[in-house]
Amino acid sequence: MIKHEAKIRAEKLKKQIDELRYRYHVLDDPQVTDEVYDSLTRELREIERQYPDLVTPDSPSQRVGGTPLDKFVKVRHARRMLSLNDAFSEQEMQDWEDRLKRLEPGSTWHYACEPKFDGLATSLIFENGVFVRGATRGDGFVGEDITQNLKTIQTIPLKLDLELTRDDFDPYLKNGKTKRMFDEVRKRALPIIRKTERIEVRGEVLMRIKDFNKLNKRENNKFANPRNAAAGSIRQLDPKIALSRKLVWHGYQLVTDLGQKNHWEEHALLGAMWLPVQLPFGAENLEEVFRFMKNRSRERDSGKYDFEMDGIVVQVYERDIFERLGVAGKAPRGAIAYKFAAKKATTVVEDILVQVGRQGNLTPIAVMKPVEVGGVTIAHASLHNEDEIKRLGLKIGDTVVVQRAGDVIPQIVEVLPKMRSGREKDFHMPKTCPVCGGKVERRAIASSSPPARGGEGGGGRGAAHVCLNPKCPAKNLRVMEHLVNAFEIYTVGPKIIERFKDEGLITDAADIFALKKEDIAVLERFGEKSAENIIASIEAHKQVPLSKFIYALGILHVGEETAIDLASHFGSLEKLQKAQLSEIDAIPNIGGAVAKSIYEYFREAHNLKYIERLLKNGVEVKSQKIQTKSGPLVGKKVVVTGTLQTLSREEAKEAVRAAGGDWVSSVSRNTDYVVVGENPGSKAEKARDLGVKILDETEFVKLLK
């Protein structure tokens, strides 16, 4: 075949193959046998082999062309990737609607409802119709480029149909929609599309429940649920692995404005470009939303869906109102994830073990007869502390109710005392550390204690039991695991750390950076190749930003957020080490107990020595720019009391921070503003007494702008 003919033939083949792919993978309605499909693909490959310059990025042969990456490249999202707030009951949905009504007095709107499948959020960019880049959400601002892996997903088209020629309208014409409405959107969108170079769409990467079960069987129950399996698969550096995992992509958002006026039009356009989407159900009011919810819940329980579904997404149907409602914190105000009720099951607590954490905290863990809750087998649940066991009235041998809601880790919510046989045994926290035999102290945890921001020591109120031995091997092991995790050295898992420790290769995390290939290669079950991999990944990750380094130290009460605050305040490790308690205490968001813990950490000689050895062994800390805050409230301390009409407490907090201000909980002479809502508490009076400036909601909102 001459090149000119080959080119025409190749284009025809691509189009035909793509259509068959769509029928097979998206519509689940294959029109031809696999042989026909394979034969067409073979012919295309043959042409491409003969004329390599006929290979285009949207050729089906390009789905797995890529070689393994060294690491993922970070990409900044053109528009922030948000997430959704949750509602768990009709009442919470009603509260949400009430808030919207306060924000949009006089407007009327409808709701779009659709299933919320549980996977991983992704953004796809198409340039002139061709899929050029796909990324994970990351922190919402910056994600990771996973284009190669996304290309292996057969429900993602490598090229969009920008002519919107789709002609199977059936799925669009439910719930009173007509072909005329569909034609109208297309007509409006076509001229806009012609002028639009880049189209961004967002959707979820998912794994089918049956593929998850197969994979987990093969991989020894490596993944807790299909969502984790999907996330783990899409974050593989080698696209061949992603390919083998048979992932699915499902669209839910058209980010680019192509003239869509409501949620149905948004989805209709996605579908018209041949992207896989669900058509949303349009609800007149919350009553209808609740009915939709009940039906989906019933269907899901009867096993109708191939994918894990954790609820429905409900959003304001009209786009102009949705946009006007704006964003609060990390979520659009006009949308909400209405989650299915927690799944519950009963089982028997066979034993209670005690785990020793990084800071020496002893945590009782219930070992249960494995039970399936919402598709996931559960055998362990944290009991947090002795008081939680007392609160539940739990004995070893008891029959209990366990629950799991969405991503939430399983918990024991209730004991069924009527099921007792009389052979149940009381549990007591050990007097000595179960690992090192060291002395254990009982310490009170204040209910307002800091761990809420991610540091260790949280989960429940009451008293904590703590192993006092600073050299406790369990603590030491957890500190190492924590550092390796924080540094993202994924080749070195907990088992490997324990092995290295047992072999005498390492005594603390600093030693990890002094390991040599030869140290590891001689160990049984390791060998050259895996030693090389381990060393390479340690090398590749030993440069870290200051915030990560601080987090990795495992300072009591210092989670990722606090570490970021410290890094952006001090900018360098030296400055942080030398900081006085008062300076740390003055950093917004860092409370007294946390500040004290940080200050004391840097006063301990063995901690300083540890840091010194980390650096000596090659860890490089990249200094961070000190972030100067900006906004109308910089340097201002703001207290809010009472209920606000337009903002929830969390939203008000976010808004104050976003405006550069500090959110404080009690009024003092240093407070700059006290915002008074409905039914204010004693804080309003105190503000008056102290002469602090009082604002009503309108003044406050004005100030934020």
Q: Please state, as a whole number, how many other Cβ atoms lie within 10 Å of the Cβ of residue 553.
A: 20
**117 is a site residue for ligand IVH (CB under 6 A):** yes
Instruction: Tell me how far apart the alpha carbons of residues 27 and 84 are, in angstroms, rounded to a whole number.
Output: 28
Sequence-distant (6+) residues with CB within 8 A of 513 are 538, 542, 614, 617, 618, 619
Show the tokens assigned to 606: 């063995």
Instruction: Tell me how far apart the alpha carbons of residues 349 and 155 are, in angstroms, rounded to a whole number.
Output: 44
Show the tokens assigned to 305: 């869906």
Q: Out of 164, 254, 337, 576, point to the residue binding ligand IVH (CB under 6 A).
A: 337
Place of tokens 């390796």: 484
**83 is a site residue for ligand IVH (CB under 6 A):** yes
DSSP assigned state of 67? P
CA dihedral over 62, 67, 72, 74, signed as positive or negative:
negative
The answer to whether residues 412 and 459 touch, using CB atoms and an 8 Å cutoff, is no
DSSP assigned state of 161? -
CB of 345 to ligand IVH, least distance (A): 24
Report, in angstroms and rounded to the nearest whole number, the Rg of the chain calculated over CA atoms. 28
Q: Out of 48, 97, 204, 318, point to the residue binding ligand IVH (CB under 6 A).
A: 204
Instruction: Tell me, yes or no, if 637 is annotated catalytic.
Output: no
The secondary element (H helix, E strand) that includes residue 520 is helix 517-521
CB of 330 to ligand IVH, least distance (A): 9
Span 317-336, contacts to ligand IVH by CB under 6 A: 332, 335
CB of 114 to ligand IVH, least distance (A): 5
Closer residue to ligand IVH in complex, CB, 137/482: 137
Closer residue to ligand IVH in complex, CB, 75/550: 75
Closest to 261 measured CA to CA, from 319, 343, 200: 319
The answer to whether residues 151 and 64 touch, using CB atoms and an 8 Å cutoff, is yes
Span 605-644, contacts to ligand IVH by CB under 6 A: none
Q: What is the 3-state secondary structure (H, E, C) of 444-496?
A: EECCCCHHHHCCCCCCCCEEEEEECCCCCHHHHHHHHHHHHHHCCCCCCCHHH
Closer residue to ligand IVH in complex, CB, 334/455: 334
CB of 27 to ligand IVH, least distance (A): 19
Instruction: Tell me how far apart the alpha carbons of residues 332 and 310 are, in angstroms, rounded to a whole number.
Output: 19
Closer residue to ligand IVH in complex, CB, 277/534: 277
**84 is a site residue for ligand IVH (CB under 6 A):** yes
Q: Which of 116, 159, 475, 637 is flagged as catalytic? A: 116
Show the tokens assigned to 30: 């294959």
How big is the site for ligand IVH, counted in residues (CB under 6 A)? 14
**252 is a site residue for ligand IVH (CB under 6 A):** yes
Closer residue to ligand IVH in complex, CB, 204/424: 204
CB of 322 to ligand IVH, least distance (A): 10
Q: Out of 18, 114, 266, 398, point to the residue binding ligand IVH (CB under 6 A).
A: 114
The answer to whether residues 576 and 566 touch, using CB atoms and an 8 Å cutoff, is yes
DSSP H stretches of helix in 283-395: 286-301, 319-325, 386-392
CB of 124 to ligand IVH, least distance (A): 13
Closest to 340 measured CA to CA, from 298, 287, 379: 298
Closer residue to ligand IVH in complex, CB, 40/335: 335
Helices and strands, counts by H and E, the chain = 26, 26
Q: Residue 107, CB half-sphere, CA atoms under 13 Å: how many?
A: 20
Piece of the chain touching ligand IVH by CB under 6 A; list 78-86, 226-234, 283-291, 453-461: 78-86
The answer to whether residues 590 and 562 touch, using CB atoms and an 8 Å cutoff, is yes
Closer residue to ligand IVH in complex, CB, 84/381: 84
Closer residue to ligand IVH in complex, CB, 205/400: 205
CB of 409 to ligand IVH, least distance (A): 17
CA dihedral over 264, 265, 266, 270, signed as positive or negative:
positive
CB of 337 to ligand IVH, least distance (A): 5
DSSP letter string, 246-281: T-EEEEEEE-S-SS--BHHHHHHHHHHTT--BPPPE
**293 is a site residue for ligand IVH (CB under 6 A):** no
Closer residue to ligand IVH in complex, CB, 29/407: 407
The secondary element (H helix, E strand) that includes residue 350 is strand 343-356
CA dihedral over 545, 549, 550, 551, signed as positive or negative:
positive
CB of 252 to ligand IVH, least distance (A): 4
Place of tokens 């989960």: 459
The answer to whether residues 638 and 673 touch, using CB atoms and an 8 Å cutoff, is yes
**283 is a site residue for ligand IVH (CB under 6 A):** no
**307 is a site residue for ligand IVH (CB under 6 A):** no
Closer residue to ligand IVH in complex, CB, 328/445: 328
**313 is a site residue for ligand IVH (CB under 6 A):** yes
Sequence-distant (6+) residues with CB within 8 A of 600 are none
x/- string (CB under 6 A) for ligand IVH, residues 206-245? ----------------------------------------
CB of 83 to ligand IVH, least distance (A): 4
Piece of the chain touching ligand IVH by CB under 6 A; list 114-122, 282-290, 297-305, 602-610: 114-122
CA angle, corner 233, sides to 228 and 238, nearest 5?
155
Q: Out of 14, 25, 99, 116, point to the residue binding ligand IVH (CB under 6 A).
A: 116
Closer residue to ligand IVH in complex, CB, 141/490: 141
CB of 86 to ligand IVH, least distance (A): 7
**338 is a site residue for ligand IVH (CB under 6 A):** no
The answer to whether residues 684 and 642 touch, using CB atoms and an 8 Å cutoff, is yes
**316 is a site residue for ligand IVH (CB under 6 A):** no
- Which residues are marked as active site? 116
User: What residue ranges bind ligand IVH (CB under 6 A)?
Assistant: 82-84, 114, 116-117, 121, 204, 252-253, 313, 332, 335, 337
